[in-house]
Amino acid sequence: MAMLVVVTEAVPPRMRGRLAIWLLEVRAGVYVGDVSKRIREMIWEQVQALAEDGNVVMAWASSHESGFEFQTYGRNRRQPIDYDGLRLVRFLPEEHN
């Protein structure tokens, strides 16, 4: 079991309801819990199936150098990148219409 944090933006209510089955919503769109790898992977499958046009980041405790890992879904200015084996986040420029 490992600590898991999921942060959602602009996802449909059914996605939020599904996350609330396994995790505690501590703030609007912010979910935390202590789940197994199998449950974490199942939650991510639900994210991919239900998030629609929203965006989601999932972070969990791990034995990596940083102490955690994360993955993202959907469009967001923050994009994960690999820098010499370390996962970092870069910011894309703002889109001007």
CA distances from 8 to 41, 46, 66, 96 (A): 16, 13, 22, 24
Reply yes or no on whether the pLDDT at 80 is more than 90: no
Query: Domain residues for 81?
Result: 2-91
pLDDT averaged over every residue in the chain: 93
Closest CA to 58 of 38, 31, 27, 79: 31
Reply yes or no on whether the pLDDT at 37 is more than 90: yes
The predicted structure's pLDDT at residue 77 = 84
Say if 74 falls within a structural domain. yes
The predicted structure's pLDDT at residue 94 = 82
Report how far Cα 7 is from the mean position of its chain's Cα atoms.
5
The predicted structure's pLDDT at residue 88 = 87
CATH number of the structural domain spanning residue 73: 3.30.70.240
Closest CA to 53 of 9, 90, 93: 9
The predicted structure's pLDDT at residue 64 = 82
Residue listed under structure tokens 């490992």: 2
Residue listed under structure tokens 């995790």: 23
Closest CA to 19 of 43, 3, 39, 35: 43
| pTM (two decimals) | 0.89
Domain count, the chain: 1
Say if 96 falls within a structural domain. no
